[in-house]
Structure 1
Amino acid sequence: MARKTSKKTDNPSPDAMPARVDPCLATLVDKPPKGPDWAYEVKWDGYRLAVHIKTGRVRVLTRGGYGWTERFPTIADDARRLAVKTAILDGEAVVLDDLGRSDFGMLQRALGRLPSAVEAGAIVFYAFDLLYLDGRDLRRLALRERRRLLEPLVAGREGTIRLSEEVQADGDEFFRVACAHGLEGIIAKHVEKPYRTGRGEWWQKITCKRRDSFVIVGFEPSTVPGHLGRLLLAARKGDDLVYVGGCGTGWSHELSRELRNLLEGISTKTPAVSLRRKNAVFTKPVLVAEVEYRAWTDDGKLRHASFKGIRQREDEASVFDMASLRL
């Protein structure tokens, strides 16, 4: 009698869990899109992260693909408590101020880059998408369906991992309210679209002010001994860096001294850009400044720039690319 060698099953084979997913990025637009297919969220001011959970093991990756699990231990610890076997959460790590607004400078201090009373436990991870869950790749599903699966996992939690709430509202009014409350801006997402790597029109960001990241290539000392006068900044242009001006505001008296000490520790005799400035101290291009500004000059320099915080350049995806600038 022949022995059965196979058994018919209705259960599909599980999807392989990707080791990394290049993130979906929002396109900057002037006004929120309109229509019932759009949902809105607060634009968080922090670090974009992907949290990978696999049978109790957690990895925290930056949007550039770097492993920062050890820098976000509270996120990793809380991820192990979620009721999942395998999952990939997409979201933003932030620190909230007294008014509930995300503050990038406070996040930097919580991560220990600069001296601070802000503790690492103050970091919150706002999850806004679910890319993989218990053997199923969700990226092909519409955002509406991905959110339906995400919400039961993280909604209502008071731990480190929380839900980034969607707002069903008039986009123009939500944007006005967000700016009035001092938020960075809002994100609009098309609820019927799948998750697509890269920058596209299905996710849009509307910011209250222009804000980007630039490589710190040097500084000018202040007339006050031991303090910072001006940061010298650069953007990407192809494979090179190009000088885009500087900023001399945005820091307190205490932070000015801390930044000066930090930058003196990475000073170099070899400038990363073609630039001659009297009294300039050049630095290795390893740190990135978050800068808020109003506009660009005709010759490609920042106007009315103000310092907001520091990133490490290893997350290269965030550095401003001059190819995106239309002068």
Structure 2
Amino acid sequence: MSGPLSRYREKRDFTGTREPAGKAPKARAGTALSFVVQRHEARALHYDFRLELDGVLVSWAVPKGPSRDPDVKRLAIRVEDHPVEYGKFEGDIPKGHYGAGHVDIWDCGTWTPDGDPRHGLARGHLRFTLNGGTLKGAWALLRLGKEGKQWLLRKLDDGAIVEGDDAEAPASQAAGRRAPLPATLEPQLATLVDAPPQGPGWSYEVKYDGYRILCRFKQGRARLVSRNGKDWTGRMAVLAQALSALDLPDGWMDGEVVCLDERGVSDFQLLQNALDGRTAELSFMAFDLPYWDGADLRALPLSERQSRLEAVLAAMPEAGPLLMTQRLEVADGTEGRAAWSEACRLSLEGLICKRLDSRYTAGRGTAWLKLKCRPRQEYVIGGYTAPGGSRKHFGALLVGLRKGRKLEYAGRVGTGFSAATLSSLHKKLSALETDASPFDAELPGPGRDGRSAGGIHWVKPQLVAEIHYASLTRDKLLRQASFVGLRDDKPASEVSGEAAVAPADSDATANGKVGKTRITHPARVIIHDPDTTKLDLARYYESAGRLILPHLQGRRIALLRCPDGTDATCFFQKHISGQLPEGLERDGEHLLIRSVEGVLALVQRGVIEFHTWGGRAPHPDEPDRITIDLDPGPDVPWKAVAEGAQLARGLMREIGLAPFLKTTGGKGLHLVAPIRPTQPWETVKGLAHALADELARVIPERFTSNMSKARRRGRIFVDYLRNGNGATAIAAYSARARAGAPVSMPVGWDALESGRDLRGAAYNIRNAMDLAQELGDPWRGYEAARRTVGPRMLKKLGR
């Protein structure tokens, strides 16, 4: 055996390892040369640095990994050349084989030699430029001695240096990137859990009884913004003026506006009094610093952001309006439970637990958790009862929770009111009185809730009340409920309840492990606006597993892969060679997904989007759905898109189909009609084509079935091509590789009546699961709605 790969092949038994044997080396003309750095957890951790040249990967083992600091020279040991195919290898080399251990791609991209690289290698001085995800700019490899295998890898001084850089340091330890001050900022939210997280690496903070507020400083002026984006500067004018007087740099602080009682404990009733015009001093309890003084800090770990926040507040007056949140020293889950018990003994609201290494990510996730001392939740007021005995104004509030467009009754609240509160609240309720009950069903129990003649008053469901309660009955009704105060930082339409969940395994989270799958490069930003990491995406798919699997299982899959994120190259893939990870299987040359672990294994490989065939096993060649893709021109407003969907729905129902609706995560909508798998692709595609032509014929000013971009101007292209053999459509609940990480979301037809624009990132990986819980299953009845495609349908379309 001879040739440049002979030494490589001699060391390996390819019947037992998935490493590629490699094809005969062949230099690629006219294409950029690739490079890859692989993190290799063998007997000793090291990094393999590989440069493509003459059809092979010229390779060095770098024990400590590359450093982007020019003052740091790394030892690099020349090893045998590897096949170019090895640049794509990730996974495990089995025990007993050469190099046994785990291999991940740490960085990759292209490289450009400075001069003749062969001459540089021969003389032991190779200079080159890297263009990778992490490694960029000018570099050099210098051989120690004339013939030895030991080289030095060094970053050269240019604009791509990072002082103190270390390959094993978290990527998020880099300095915050320079960026203009964002006009808006979506807050990070905490998930309610029923126990403290286990393991180290968590910060514990006091949970305050106040209003979540983001403070934007610009040119010395402070603006206060509620968690749902409303400007509250006017409502908290005195506090805003006091914060402005501090003359701080431009930036965003995240915190809670509170009123502290004489014990220094936040009191929501005092806060309500202050906002109603009664004297009370407001304080801003800051706990995060997402942006400051020209730098976007959201990618930094919480520990770093809070250290910077402490440094800012250290220069503030002690008696001023700006305070640092109270933090507790907690080593692990056992100490966390003790801290929680003590917080409850002191009558605090609870604790907030935050991962010290977590980045600031908009929306609700598992990096921030909340532990409550007593059940407390927001409810929508739907009515009130007449007063009894000596009480004035009203007796009890009747409250509920939103479930889609419905308001489900949740019980009555008859305590917690002062005389002043009874009076002020009654005025607000009286202004909202209506004749009809806003609840979706009769209130339970005859004669309950004061329903004698004139004993109950219905109101428009617009006010949100914060309620303490002891527990819930089997019917999910409140027990021992007590009024805390009104909340107007969250609209009534979004009050759907919150259920505590078990905290995630913190050790797995720290190691980038989701389910059974280890996510490499978990902090790599793969989508922007806001920055979304590979780990964020994996966690979304884990939480969405039970919802997305019914749309994937049994269907052939096409994948959109973006291994280095959407800033780099993305490509479609329908096949995977080699051994498949757990949760995947083959259908001939096609790929099928069996479980959530299969989804996560593909996310680990850089998959963002999942697209599915229109047929399902055991009849993959006979489609079981018709998908009509409404693709509007760029100048078509949302209202016209929504109306177009209703018109298309009407035509589909007229010929006997029962379409369901979902967003695409782009600019259009999908109408999906379930059918019985009895017809070949050509018949089903022909019916879809006939539907598109009929819409274009009847309403030509709105629709076109011609895919020409010129014909789409001001119209909606009715795309029927999703129904051909081999054609695919984005799967329901799949994320999209677009700004905001949108999700293709199944919705009810009533969603079109709200006027809300459902395009783009209206549904995204940060809010999709909350909305799915709130809305329920909008596709209930999908299986029962299957129809048989036949000549009668075509005849109704004049075919």
Does TM, scored on the shorter chain, surpass 0.5? yes
CA positional deviation for 1:271: 3.1
User: Which residue of structure 1 aligns with residue 240 of structure 2?
Assistant: 76
Q: TM-score, normalised by structure 1?
A: 0.87
Among candidates 404, 409, 418, match of residue 238 of structure 1: 404
Question: Relative to structure 2, which stretch is displaced further, 265-274 or 60-69?
Answer: 265-274
Q: 1:70 to 1:101 in 2, by over 3 A?
A: same
CA distance in 2, matches of 1:293, 1:225: 21
Among candidates 314, 320, 329, match of residue 159 of structure 1: 320
CA distance in 2, matches of 1:13, 1:264: 52
For each residue in 1:89-136, what CA deviation from the matched residue of structure 2 results, as whole angstroms up to 9, or x when unmatched?
Answer: 100011112221111111111100xxx7x414x111100000100111
Q: 1:317 to 1:52 in 2, by over 3 A?
A: farther
Among candidates 280, 300, 303, match of residue 144 of structure 1: 303
CA distance in 1, matches of 2:367, 2:475: 32
Does the 8 A contact of 1:46 with 1:92 survive in 2?
A: yes
Q: TM-score, normalised by structure 2?
A: 0.37
Q: 1:205 to 1:248 in 2, by over 3 A?
A: same
User: Which residue of structure 2 aligns with residue 173 of structure 1?
Assistant: 338
User: Which residue of structure 2 aligns with residue 101 of structure 1?
Assistant: 265
Q: 1:198 to 1:317 in 2, by over 3 A?
A: farther
Among candidates 186, 189, 192, match of residue 351 of structure 2: 186
Unaligned runs of 5+ in 1: 1-7
CA distance in 1, matches of 2:326, 2:489: 30
Q: 1:308 to 1:141 in 2, by over 3 A?
A: same
Give the letter aligned to residue 245 of structure 2.
R
User: Which residue of structure 2 aligns with residue 272 of structure 1?
Assistant: 438
User: Which residue of structure 1 aligns with residue 363 of structure 2?
Assistant: 198
CA distance in 2, matches of 1:13, 1:289: 41
Alignment partner of 2:283: what SS?
Answer: strand
Is the aligned partner of 1:306 residue 2:508? no
CA distance in 2, matches of 1:191, 1:85: 25
Does the 8 A contact of 1:64 with 1:317 survive in 2?
A: no
CA distance in 2, matches of 1:124, 1:315: 24
Among candidates 200, 205, 209, match of residue 36 of structure 1: 200
Is the aligned partner of 1:119 residue 2:119? no
CA distance in 2, matches of 1:317, 1:45: 22
Q: How many residue pairs were aligned?
A: 314
Unaligned runs of 5+ in 2: 1-157, 162-175, 444-450, 499-772, 775-799
Q: 1:24 to 1:13 in 2, by over 3 A?
A: closer
CA distance in 2, matches of 1:190, 1:240: 36
Does the 8 A contact of 2:462 with 2:492 survive in 1?
A: no
CA distance in 1, matches of 2:188, 2:337: 23
Alignment partner of 1:309: what SS?
Answer: strand
Higher relative contact order (CA 8 A, sep 6+): 1
For each residue in 1:257-307, what CA deviation from the matched residue of structure 2 results, as whole angstroms up to 9, or x when unmatched?
Answer: 333233223322243223464421112222111001122222232222111
Question: Relative to structure 2, which stretch is displaced further, 49-58 or 143-152?
Answer: 49-58
CA distance in 2, matches of 1:282, 1:316: 16
CA positional deviation for 1:144: 0.5
CA distance in 2, matches of 1:78, 1:313: 22
Question: Relative to structure 2, which stretch is displaced further, 169-178 or 91-100?
Answer: 169-178
Q: 1:306 to 1:242 in 2, by over 3 A?
A: same
Q: 1:316 to 1:225 in 2, by over 3 A?
A: closer
Whichever structure has more strand as a proportion of its residues is 1
CA distance in 2, matches of 1:249, 1:165: 31
CA positional deviation for 1:313: 6.5
CA positional deviation for 1:145: 0.6
CA positional deviation for 1:175: 1.2
Is the aligned partner of 1:110 residue 2:270? no
Among candidates 124, 128, 146, match of residue 287 of structure 2: 128
For each residue in 1:209-258, what CA deviation from the matched residue of structure 2 results, as whole angstroms up to 9, or x when unmatched?
Answer: 11011111110011136332110112111133222111111113443333
User: Which residue of structure 2 aligns with residue 208 of structure 1?
Assistant: 373
User: Over alpha carbons, which structure has the higher Rg?
Assistant: 2
Root-mean-square deviation (Å): 2.6
User: Which residue of structure 1 aligns with residue 670 of structure 2?
Assistant: none
Alignment partner of 2:396: what SS?
Answer: strand
Q: 1:83 to 1:10 in 2, by over 3 A?
A: farther
CA positional deviation for 1:70: 0.3
Q: 1:314 to 1:208 in 2, by over 3 A?
A: closer
